[in-house]
Each structure stands twice: as structure tokens, then as C-alpha cells.
Structure 1
Amino acid sequence: MSSSEPTIISAPGKVLIAGGYLVLDPAFSGLVVATDARFYTLVRPSSFPKTTSGQYKITVRSPQFENAIWNYWVAIQDKNVQVIASKEDESNNTFVELALVYSLAIIGHLVPVETITEKISTGLSIVIAGNNDFYSQRNELTKRGLPLNSASLRQIPLFAPTHTTLGKVSKTGLGSSAALITSLVSAIFIHFGACKMQGPESTELSVNSTKLLHNTAQFVHCLAQGKVGSGFDVSSAVWGSHTYRRFSPEILQEVMHLDAKDDIPALLKVLDPEQTTWDNLVVPFRLAPRLHLMLADIDAGSHTPTLVSNVLKWRKNKAEEANTLWTLLGAANDKVVELLKRLDEAAKEHPQEYDSAIQRASSLPAAEWSTSLAGQDVASELLTLIYQGFSTVRGYLREMSRLSEVPIEPAEQTRLLDACLAVPGVLMAGVPGAGGYDAIFCIVLSDESRKAVESVWSGFKEMNVGPLLCKESVEGGLVMELDLKQEQTKAMLSY
């Protein structure tokens, strides 16, 4: 890649279908599904002259927001690459700043200084943009005089302005900060040639390069949030849909204090997969054919850190009670994941039988499958077991709500989810991640089911339910989006 070529990298948003709260504990797994709503980072040469003191300029823009331009100065001395934020900007962005500071500091120890200075000789212009689904579009629809439905959302242009600042925007819970950091870190590493490809003609990164980007993005994300989180959101942004078991938090806790100016060799020793083996577990996953993920955000909102803090407080104070329930919930989650994988296998082994089973099941509410579809075929049996298994999961989550006095599946959400499950062809309905009032997901078997579910959402009176357009995407991040035929690429290059 020459120094004049732009680099565009994207990373997906996520939905934690199973494993809320449990993914904080390395003893339990979660199922995280990637979405086709993605964050994009464009890195390209600019025309900024080097300062008299020998510093290079980087400008980062997020055109969807007001006052979202951040300037940085880069000083290079041997292997030491230091990034300094401008003091004249109207706002600051901790996530962007830390991603640049640590990515470039690490690259200084991986790439010859001549390569770095060549790539940054005229400065860099960086553009970051996320698909509309990452942010609530309610205000935009109101301004356009459009109702809150999918058809209206499709009329909003790609990367639509939010008409507000980054700090005030209403998010939908798809993991925007994790997708942003993953795409930005990856774009910087790849632009400066700090990653290896699988082969001379390949656009796929080597396994170790992918792991290095994952580990770096996890570190930066934890640093920006001020704590070592579960990491499933960054993991999904890198690897797409998968079952996830977290890394031991001690891996990053021991380097959270390291300074980007002096301690990069010590940090690299932890982040480089050739020097430290991380114990996170990633097993690829995909929904079986004709299973469609639907998402909606709820205009009520919950503060996820507060929910998590209160649940963990309950687990600490009532350890025996909590651990018993966590073990039951973990086993129920694992059972649902295993059944979903078996359903995908059944679709491959007996495609015609599978299609017939989906057709029959999509005409009936899931509560009737156990009697109406009993003994029909393997796929029908698996669909019934998945519905029943996830009902068990929801029951345990409601019990956790009761015992911890935390609204994980609040009563209003229960009524909404039950109304969705009464629609023919709805396999699963639940609250993703930490739950609360933020969002819901459904997995449906047909377009008719999808339309009927959206009708339930639009008619629900207890809460304002807004559909999202995104769907499942098994792909992770690190995809080079340089095809000029792609709408996203054209939009990014136009900024």
C-alpha cells in the first residue's frame, strides 16, 4: 500500500443474545451476534506541512455530530511516537485520543521509523462514521414528518447528521464505542503497515495480526471506560458472531497504568499474542438459514453500568443465592446455543425437510409448536426446544430481576415480549445484554412474521418502540471497504 492510498476499515455492532451479566465471569459463556450496522474509519494523507518543531498533524472528524473535529500533533523520535491533543478544540474525545495515542506508540515499536514518517509526511485526515442504527433517529423522523417505522427509516440518508453533539446523542445500544475503537485502531495499524496478511495476494489478516488488533482494541476500550469490562463487544467487532468466554481480567489490569510515552515495550509484551497467550474463547456462530434477527430500541432507557453494578452487589451480598441462579442460567444459555447450532446443522443436512419445517412453524405461534409439530421432523423438534429453552432463560432472568431488585426484564418489557411471541413464526424474543428498558430483540422465521412483529411494536402503548434496520452479519471487522461501488465507501470518501 503506497503512502497516498486511503485505508477504510469497518467493524460491526453487536447484540448479546445470551449471557447478560454472566459474561463478566470467565466461568460462563455468552452468545454475541454481530450486526450489519458498522462503524467505518477512513485514514488518508492530507496536506498539512510539518511544523518547524518537526511535528505532524492529524485531524479526526466525525461528520454526523456538531463540534466533532479533533486535532492532534505527532512527534517522532526513533521508536517513540507521541500524540498530543490540540488545546484549541471545542471538545475532546477520550476514545479517539487514546486509540491514536496507544496505536501510534505501539506502531513505533513495530514499523521502521522511515515508514512511519513517509506515511505521515503530509499529515493525516481521519473520518469516522457509524451506520444510522447506532443512534436514535426519532428526532430526524419527527423533523421529516414521518412515522416511526422501518419504511421511514429507509428514507434517511446513510450516515445522517444527528443534529447534536457526541456527548448528547441518544444511542441504541449496539456497541458504538467498541465498534469505533476497533475500526480506528485497525485502520491505523493497517495504514502504517503494522499488520501481516495471510499471504502475498490476500486481503485477510494473519491470525496473530488479528489477535494483536483485538488485544489493543480491548486495552484502549477498557482504558477509555476506566475499567476492564467483559470485552464481548470488542470481540464481536473483531470476529463477528460467536460464542464468547472472556479473558481473565488480570491480563489487562496489570497494564492499565502504563504510560504511552515510556512503557510501550512492557505493554506490547502483554498485547502481542506471540509474547502473551490470552485465554478468551471465540467459537464462530451463525443463525440457521431463514432465522431473521430483529431489533428495536425503547424510548425509556436504562443506565447499563448501574444495572450491572447493582446485580454484582447482589451477587456479592447473597453469594449462595446468586451463584445457584447463575449456574442454572448459564446451563440454560448453553443449551439454547447448542440447539441453535444443531438447527443450523439440520438445515445443511436436510435442506428440503428444514424448509418445510420453517414453513409450518412460521404459520403458528411458538406456544403451539409442541402439539402441532410434534414428531414431524428433527428441525421442528429443534425449533420447539429452542423456544422452550429460551423461555426458561427468560424465567431465570425475571427471577434475577426479583432477587436483585434490578429491572433486567421489567414488567412492561415482559408484556411487550409476550405480545411478540404471540405472533406466528416468532422463535425468540428477549432483552439483550444487561436488559432494562433500552432494547429488545426477536428472531423470526418469515417476512410475514417480521411485519406482524413491527405492527405489535408500533401499536404498543406502554413504551415507545422504535425498529432498527440492521440484521445479523456473521462478519467481524478488519474488512477493507475500498470498493467504489459500495455506498458506504463513496460516502466516506466524499467527506
Structure 2
Amino acid sequence: MTNTTVVSAPGKVLMTGGYLVLDQTYRGLVVGTTARFYTVIQSTKKDERGSIQVRSPQFDTNANWSYTATIQDEKLQFSSRPDSSQNKFVETCLRFTLEIIYQRTGKLFDDSLLITIVGDNDFYSQRAQLESKNLSNTVESLASLEPFCSTHATLGTVHKTGLGSSAALTTSLVAALFVHLTDSDLDQDRTLIHNVAQYVHCFAQGKVGSGFDVSAAVYGNHRYTRFSPDVLSSVMNDQVDSKELLKALDPVTGSWDNIVVPFQLPPGLELLLADVDAGSHTPTLVSKVLTWRKNNPIEANELWGQLGNMNNNVEQHLRNLSKASETNPEEYKQAIKQFSELKASKWYTVENKTSIMEEFIQLVDDFSQVRTFLQKMSQLSDVPIEPTEQTKLLDACMNMEGVILAGVPGAGGYDAIYCIVLSKKAKETVRNVWSSWKEMSVGPLLAQADNKGIAKISVESVNGLGRFLL
């Protein structure tokens, strides 16, 4: 084996902007996570020229896919091997990314490729794994599992945790192909990689989605405004002309209008994530909400406007706090220290509050309004965005000292929750609430907030990755 490339891409949490982010009028606040997907590409002389072997060793069966890619009469010929199982995301990534690379460079590769794709454990529920080892569902137990452990499931039956596995996989594979075959500079070509990843992810799903999950996988934390679906409408078909495709996806000739504004959680605020063992089908939730909005435009648009304004307020409070931590660090640290020892509902009782403390209080109040509007949307649309069971759990978290925010990410439902806390003690308290919760099974995830998007790394820098490589 020679010439090995490793590229990783993060999962995501959509803190604010669920449903609204589908509309260009509104924005979403998306946070990248430390949970990442890794694509490793190795060049080999082992197989015939143009052969591509892809494998995902965390799955039990049919997680190996075989393709061929050759150039004939100056055209890319790409096909799945007849005896290979099918994977829409992998096949779409390879087919269109190789087409773009060939159109841009006039060449492909002279050998064969072995591609290995794995995701951090947090992308998949580890409940069955823990039970098989007689371990409780705690942070300590999760940390004891080997990296990239077997899911004991197939791709079709695995229980995902909602961190955006398909977007992270797609983005890491697209970026790895660019790096491996063109020696791409990820910083220089980030926009092109974003556009290609968005396209192949939409094509594989059969529709143009909001794109925030792919955007997070490329850029990490940011405020996201979606691209117009019209950007891709002319190339969402199997007979797309390769030159037309390149024109649509190229940052210069394409008409991409998405907006990415960098964002960071303020210092001292730590993101906690939990997997809720109930499950929701996000496309179904979204479809029902959009149907309600279409049938009740006046009522829906008024609510969306109110929710959009509150989402903007939450973002502005977070940005103001980040700025305050730089301009007045001692006062900021004092506010964190004082509020970490109180329930957020009691913060207003503190005497001689500073302007930074007032900013924290406003953040809590406005985020509470966000939740109120999401609950109202749940009722009006008859869609469980923040179901009663989740409301009880979130309220219990907010009733702990040092908890500043607790919400359902993205489209909501029964899949997951997130909390933002101000201290190590608050983190432990929240996790105790989860472990003792009776109405639903709530388990922690290890992932934290992380600002890194796609990244080229070495095999040696990732614990446990080397064991999968030949």
C-alpha cells in the first residue's frame, strides 16, 4: 500500500432554526461536534486498474461495495460491480465526485482504490453494545468501548443518534477523493467541496434538503442561511450533462447563495448531548409541518416570524457574551461562577447584577420563548416537535444549578436533547437526571461542541483507525 489519505468531517447539532432553516428568509445556528466520520483512501496495485473497493467495517453484513471507474473516449465510465451490494450514498458520491474531478483535471487514477469509511461511536446508539457487556449507560461505560466498535447491526437496522451521519459520511468521502486524486488544499477548495457534497447528498436522498448538516460537516460552527433549491434543480436527474454539472457546482460559475457566518459558543459554556431511545423519522416530521404551513399560511407564517426573531435574539446574546468574555474577562468569569451555583430561574434574584449577568438572563428568557413557540408549533401542526415527554425532561434539566439552555435539536421529536451548562458540577448533575429518568431511556453521548469542519489528518492521529487498514 502506498499513498494513503485520511479526511474527517464532523456531526452537527442545530441549536436554533429547526424547520425555519428550510426557508431562505430564516437562519439556523449550527454547532459542529467532536464526533466525526473518517474516510481513508489507499492506492493499491492489488486489483485491476479502475477498481474501487469501499467498506464500512462497523456493520455486520453487506457493508462492502465494488465499483469500476475508467475513461473511454474521453468520458468517465462508472458502474457498480454486478455482484456488489448497493449503497446509494457511497455510489452517488463516487460517481459525481469522480466526474467533477475528471472534468476539472482531465485525468482520474492509474491504479485501484481501497476506501474505508468509519464513524465515531456517538453516531450510533451503543445500548445493545453496553448491554452485551453488562455495562450501565454512562459516560464512563461509553468511554471504555473501543473506537469505531461494531454496531452489531446492518446499515438498514442500525439505531442512529441524529448527529448527521449521512452528511458527515458524504462530506468526508467527497473531500477525501479531492485530496487523494488532485492533492486538493481543503482551505482553498472548501467551497467547491461543499457544493459537490451538498449535491451528492441531495441526489442520494432524492430531494433538495436544507443543507445545514452538510454545511456543518464542511465548515463546523456557523450561522447558516440555506441555498436556493433552484441552484440544483437543473442537475437533479440521472441524465445530467457532465459539463452542465461542473458549471452548476463550480463556485465561480454556479449560482450558490448560501451564507455561512462563523460562530463560537462563548467560553465556559459546554454542550452536552443525549440519545433518547424512542426515535423519530425526521423526514416525516418535516413533511407534516410543511403541509400544515401550506394549509394554514397566515397562522404558520406569523408563528415562524416570531420564532425566527427569537432565534436571532438567542444568537445575538451568545455573540454578545463571547465579545464580553474578551473585553471584560474578569467580570465574565465572575458571572459564570455565580450563575453556575444557581438555577437559571433564580438568576434574576441576584443583587447588583452586571450587564454581563443581564445578558445571560436575557439569553435564558429568549431561549425559553423559542421553546414556547416550538411547543405551539407542535400543537398547531399536530407534530411532536417538543413532545410532552421531552418537555418534562428538558424542564427537569433546566431546574438544575448551572444549566443555561436545554432543548431539542433540529426537527425535534423523540431522538435527542441537548443541554448547555456552566460547570463540571452542572454536567454531572444533568447526567444524573438522565440516568435516573424513568419515562424514557436517556443515555449520554460523549460528543462535545467542536469548531473544526473537514480536516486532512494522519492515520496515527486517530486512536483505533489503523486496525482497519491493509
Instruction: Name the TM-score class by shorter chain.
Output: over 0.9
- Normalised by the length of structure 2, the TM-score is 0.97
1:116-195 mapped onto 2 (5 Å cutoff): 116-118=108-110, 121=111, 123-193=112-182, 195=184
User: Shift in Å at residue 462 of structure 1?
Assistant: 0.5
Rounded Cα–Cα distance in structure 1 between residues aligned with 2:391 and 2:38: 35
Q: Is structure 2 residue 431 aligned with structure 1 residue 451?
A: no
Rounded Cα–Cα distance in structure 2 between residues aligned with 1:406 and 1:149: 31
| Equivalent residue letter for 1:73 | T
User: Shift in Å at residue 82 of structure 1?
Assistant: 2.3
Match of 1:392 in 2: 369
Rounded Cα–Cα distance in structure 2 between residues aligned with 1:312 and 1:88: 40
| Structure 2 residue ranges without an equivalent (≥5) | none
Matched residue SS, 1:154: helix
User: Shift in Å at residue 379 of structure 1?
Assistant: 2.1
Matched residue SS, 2:66: strand
Rounded Cα–Cα distance in structure 2 between residues aligned with 1:241 and 1:79: 40
1:365-404 mapped onto 2 (5 Å cutoff): 365-372=343-350, 375-404=352-381
- Decide which of 50, 65, 70 is 1:56's aligned counterpart: 50
Match of 1:200 in 2: none
Matched residue SS, 1:461: coil
Match of 1:25 in 2: 23
- Decide which of 451, 457, 463 is 1:481's aligned counterpart: 457
Rounded Cα–Cα distance in structure 1 between residues aligned with 2:220 and 2:430: 26
Match of 1:11 in 2: 9
Rounded Cα–Cα distance in structure 2 between residues aligned with 1:441 and 1:160: 24
Rounded Cα–Cα distance in structure 2 between residues aligned with 1:271 and 1:148: 44
User: Shift in Å at residue 350 of structure 1?
Assistant: 1.3
Q: Is structure 2 residue 60 aligned with structure 1 residue 66?
A: yes
1:328-367 mapped onto 2 (5 Å cutoff): 328-367=306-345
Residue pair 2:10, 2:34 contacting (<8 A) in 1 also: yes
Query: Structure 1 residues 274 and 356, CA, compared in 2 at 3 Å: closer, same or farther?
Result: same
- Decide which of 250, 254, 260 is 1:276's aligned counterpart: 254
| Equivalent residue letter for 1:17 | M
Rounded Cα–Cα distance in structure 1 between residues aligned with 2:13 and 2:58: 23
User: Shift in Å at residue 66 of structure 1?
Assistant: 1.5
Match of 1:242 in 2: 222
User: Shift in Å at residue 331 of structure 1?
Assistant: 0.2
Per-residue CA distance 1:200-250 (angstroms, 9 max, x = gap):
xxxx521xx211110000000001111000000000000000000000011
Residue pair 2:313, 2:366 contacting (<8 A) in 1 also: yes
Q: Is structure 2 residue 122 aligned with structure 1 residue 100?
A: no
| Equivalent residue letter for 2:416 | A
Matched residue SS, 2:418: strand
Deviates more, 1:68-77 or 1:305-314: 68-77
| Equivalent residue letter for 2:13 | V
User: Shift in Å at residue 484 of structure 1?
Assistant: 2.2
- Decide which of 392, 398, 401 is 1:421's aligned counterpart: 398
Rounded Cα–Cα distance in structure 2 between residues aligned with 1:232 and 1:66: 30
Rounded Cα–Cα distance in structure 2 between residues aligned with 1:194 and 1:76: 20
- Decide which of 80, 85, 88 is 2:83's aligned counterpart: 88
Residue pair 2:109, 2:181 contacting (<8 A) in 1 also: no
Matched residue SS, 2:136: coil
Rounded Cα–Cα distance in structure 2 between residues aligned with 1:219 and 1:194: 21
User: Shift in Å at residue 4 of structure 1?
Assistant: 3.1
Residue pair 1:291, 1:443 contacting (<8 A) in 2 also: yes
Per-residue CA distance 1:94-138 (angstroms, 9 max, x = gap):
10000001111111111232xx233xx2x1100000000000000
Q: Is structure 2 residue 206 aligned with structure 1 residue 226?
A: yes
Per-residue CA distance 1:291-338 (angstroms, 9 max, x = gap):
000000111111111111110011000000000000000000000001
Matched residue SS, 2:149: coil
Rounded Cα–Cα distance in structure 1 between residues aligned with 2:394 and 2:15: 14
Match of 2:289 in 1: 311
Residue pair 1:73, 1:84 contacting (<8 A) in 2 also: yes
Matched residue SS, 2:179: helix
Match of 2:239 in 1: 259
User: Shift in Å at residue 483 of structure 1?
Assistant: 5.9
Q: Is structure 2 residue 466 aligned with structure 1 residue 490?
A: yes
Per-residue CA distance 1:335-356 (angstroms, 9 max, x = gap):
0001001101111111111111
Matched residue SS, 1:65: coil
Query: Structure 1 residues 285 and 79, CA, compared in 2 at 3 Å: closer, same or farther?
Result: farther
User: Shift in Å at residue 79 of structure 1?
Assistant: 4.0
Query: Structure 1 residues 447 and 190, CA, compared in 2 at 3 Å: closer, same or farther?
Result: same
Residue pair 1:37, 1:134 contacting (<8 A) in 2 also: yes
User: Shift in Å at residue 164 of structure 1?
Assistant: 1.2
Residue pair 1:33, 1:242 contacting (<8 A) in 2 also: yes
| Equivalent residue letter for 1:205 | D
| Structure 1 residue ranges without an equivalent (≥5) | 198-203
User: Shift in Å at residue 269 of structure 1?
Assistant: 0.6
Query: Structure 1 residues 169 and 431, CA, compared in 2 at 3 Å: closer, same or farther?
Result: same
Residue pair 1:375, 1:381 contacting (<8 A) in 2 also: no
Matched residue SS, 1:110: helix
| Equivalent residue letter for 1:71 | S
Query: Structure 1 residues 327 and 488, CA, compared in 2 at 3 Å: closer, same or farther?
Result: farther
Match of 1:205 in 2: 187
